[in-house]
Amino acid sequence: MTNPTPAEFRLPTPGCYADPERSGLKAGELFDGMTEHLFFTLGKLAPSATKHDLYMALSYAVRDRLMMRYLVGKQALRETPRKTVAYLSAEFLIGPQLGNNLVMLGIEEAATLALRQFGVRSLDTVLEVEEEPGLGNGGLGRLAACYMESLASLQVPAVGYGIRYEFGIFDQLIRDGWQVEITDKWLKAGWPWELPQPDEACVVGFGGHTESYTDAKGHYHSRWVPVEHAIGIPHDVPVLGYQVNTCNRLRLWRADATESFDFYAFNIGDYYGAVEEKVGSETLSKVLYPNDGTDEGRRLRLKQQHFFVSCSLQDMLRSFEKRQIPLEEFPQHWAIQMNDTHPAIAVAELMRLLIDEKYLTWDAAWSITSRCLAYTNHTLLPEALEKWNLPLFASLLPRHLEIIYEINRRFLQQVRLRYPGNNQILRTLSIIDEDGEKAVRMAHLATIGSHHVNGVAALHSELVKTNLMPEFSALWPEKFTNVTNGVTPRRWLALANPKLRALLNEVIGEGWIQDLDQLSKLEAFQDDKNFLERWEQTHLAAKRNLSNIIHRRTGILVDPTSLFDVQVKRIHEYKRQHLNALQVAAQYVRIKEGCADHMPPRTVLFGGKAAPGYYMAKLIIRFLNGIADTINSDPDMDGRLRVLFLPDYNVTTGQCIYPASDLSEQISTAGKEASGTGNMKFALNGSLTVGTLDGANLEIRDRVGKENFFLFGYTATELRNLHQDGYRPWEVLARQPLLQQVVNLVTQGHFSNGDREMFQPLIHNLTHCDPFFVFADFEDYLRAQEDVSQAWLDRPRWNRMSLLNCARNGFFSSDRSVREYCEHIWKARPFPVEVKCELPSVT
């Protein structure tokens, strides 16, 4: 991307813009802003202010600084329209905002000094008060957050569109080793980072029927007559770029009822009926990812997707009308990215809005739609590609189903011309799945309606073309591309690892924060013994911090000088936490038998949530905790091995874990992980990786050097061949005596307090089916862990490998990813804005 000349925008003299209490970045100015908000916003006097009061006051003072940049940029875009990126995502795992915004403004020290005037000695005291926003769950939502931050840092105009969930997915407790889900009430104490905009609400319909009619000119039209409506109230969250004036926004929709209270129902004694519509409508934005194991859960999830997509598209069209730009130019002004299949209904909804409400012809509407929309695929698991059965879809979105049928009819006609007489390819490519219960394939709809389809790692994108969608790729090879994921260095190093940031700033300067490729300057120190010792001490400080957190949260004492071996991510069979658990149990057996004298002390840390309806994932959590309880209570393991499961893994916890990790476990079955971003965060902080050739692991290994990566396991091609040849896990088990010992201990109840039945479903699945090739990769995984132990014992070698993992990680910045999207998919350019404040004249 080229850097255009900044647009100069001169503020129109309202005094608050130039008022230091609202825009100044010095400690005294922040203190004055906090004092004002304590008094006028919170109704508190400083002497009686609690830590939460001070957090709110500082957050409001920082938000004032963001608002000046946000409003200036908004006005500049209004006067000089530029192409804007609309990022549609069901999740935005943005993490706590205060600390990140202090980094973006460069005022952490000023905030610390301001707080000292209130008697608070440490900024962390206030940062710890902030609740984790429950707006996302895993990598999908965290990627969206990184991209929004990078868009702002690169000064590209953008809006993130999603849902303002009242409750997050859940808070996780561990009771008797099992996951227990409790309500994530993240909004209970207020959230100072959002700005409700009720005057920009949108109305969304559901259900009902369609009607056909002819207008005064004799043109045929259809109209949708919904039986149910909900109002979407936008709540804007400012997203500031690093050390720039660009402040984009995350627009989250809260659902409300068109009529909140039925007086007639109330007056006749039907008290529930009086608020039934309000309760039903507000359910749309109540909780992230309702359980789709029931008909009602699936219905709610589809309604959620249509709700936020419709609101977002209406919002874009409304902004267009306000600027009085012809609709035909819509693709020149909006680039709409669908983050996975959750927003795929956008294809049909944009067509509906353009045809039914803007009265465009089909061809004109399709031209606009297909030139605006692009689709990111995030999974290679066929079962994870959303499909909606036709009765459900027709009952909720009858007009959209009509439009999908017409899209499909026109598309299949193109396919017939390309492949005459080939009925099988028609069935394969059709948006409507005809096999079994008929359903709408949302990935097919997204692919057909988009100008680009991208995977999120080189291997993943290749497998999308060759395995997942080979027929689509053959039809439109130019449509398929790759953009490897990235992570923001601001949150995941500058904020999360302040001691390493200080060391980097000292030796290579601060430029790496905006240009992560500058980390390559660290390679000059790879043979510097004194620097490597400083590198190790910096890492040890992060490990001591995590050790203290672990003790506070679990009561378990861990040795910060031991090897911290970490696997934190969503719990899923393909991510293979159970492979790691079996390996840990094998190490336990070897220590008990006196066969591990040269194994260095290890602390093995797990973390992650299982979907509430995913039984096997929840059983894996119980398995991890059962192994941990057994090992941690065995005196023979003292000073040798510790295992723990840290509950409620989230962004806040991740910011403590990534800097402290020595070994990153990226052990998913080859060909199953789309990319991963945890692997990038670990390497960015100097952690070494033990992993398979899966997702972005390949690219990380290529860049950090194969000698600095612990590789094991079958490749995706080898596993495919193994499956085709008839994989028999019981035969693999019979050839591995140590694995047999571990499995026998599990079946005998050694890790479940004598309960022989508890883990039987897990062991039965592995020995009779093993769909993710745990047994197949076990022996080589154990070999790789031996290599890890030997490398750890050679401290200079380990420190050098750690340094090079960080130094060669510049490619995996979300800034690079966003540049690639801008250049190859969105065709969007930076729009820098310079702010020149004018004080009002005094007469």
- Tell me if the pTM is above 0.85: yes
Query: Does 427 participate in catalysis according to the annotation?
Result: no
Tokens matching residue 479: 């449509």
Query: Does 352 participate in catalysis according to the annotation?
Result: no
Which domains occur in the chain, in start order?
81-96+132-382+445-482 (3.40.50.2000), 503-716+776-810 (3.40.50.2000)
pLDDT of residue 20: 55
Q: Which helix (H) or strand (E) holds 392?
A: helix 390-396
Rounded-to-integer distance, Cα 380 and Cα 377, Å:
8
pLDDT of residue 215: 83
Rounded-to-integer distance, Cα 272 and Cα 276, Å:
6
Q: Which helix (H) or strand (E) holds 800?
A: helix 795-807
**Helix, coil or strand: residue 526:** coil
- All residue ranges of the chain with pLDDT < 50 are 9-18, 261-263, 266, 270-272, 274-275, 838-843
The span from the first CA to the last CA of the chain, in angstroms, equals: 47
Candidates 22, 575, 578, 640; catalytic one: 575
Whether 396 and 310 have beta carbons less than 8 Å apart is answered as no
Interior CA angle at 597 toward 594 and 600, to 5°? 130
Rounded-to-integer distance, Cα 458 and Cα 377, Å:
13
Interior CA angle at 308 toward 304 and 312, to 5°? 165
Candidates 22, 543, 569, 640; catalytic one: 569
Query: Does 51 participate in catalysis according to the annotation?
Result: no
Dihedral, CA of residue 702, residue 705, residue 707 and residue 711, to nearest 10:
-30
Candidates 578, 609, 681, 750; catalytic one: 681
> For 19-40, b where at least 16 C-beta lie within 10 A, e where not — what string?
bebbbbeebebbbbbbbbbbee
Query: Does 681 participate in catalysis according to the annotation?
Result: yes
Candidates 543, 570, 622, 640; catalytic one: 570
Tokens matching residue 817: 């990813």
Candidates 369, 538, 677, 692; catalytic one: 677
Strand partners, 222: 212
Query: Does 570 participate in catalysis according to the annotation?
Result: yes
pLDDT of residue 842: 36
Residues in the chain: 843
Rounded-to-integer distance, Cα 502 and Cα 631, Å:
38
Rounded-to-integer distance, Cα 243 and Cα 237, Å:
18
Strand partners, 335: 85
Handedness of CA 321, 322, 326, 332 (dihedral sign): negative
Residue with tokens 């390559």: 520
Candidates 306, 378, 400, 452; catalytic one: 378
